[in-house]
Amino acid sequence: MTKKVKSVAFNVDDPIERQMYDYASNNKYFSTYVKRLIQRDMENGQKVSSPGPGRAGGIGNG
């Protein structure tokens, strides 16, 4: 079985990203959680949007 790994970086000095990091850290199965979020976005036709100032990336409607 071939696996590919994608890292997720959180800027814990940014209050919003710190909240996301804390929330994600409480999830025992982080990889499965992220995959299900991606699956839900794909099923809903969500597109990746341009990141806002100071953001590494984002998911949005456009």
Query: Residue holding tokens 């984002």?
Result: 58
CB atoms within 10 A of CB 39: 10
Query: Cβ distance 43 to 3 under 8 Å?
Result: no
Q: What is the token pair recorded at 3?
A: 């696996």
What pLDDT sits at residue 60? 47
pLDDT per position as a tens digit, 18-55: 999 999 999 999 999 999 999 999 999 877 666 666 65
At 57 the pLDDT is 55
Give pTM, 2 decimals. 0.63
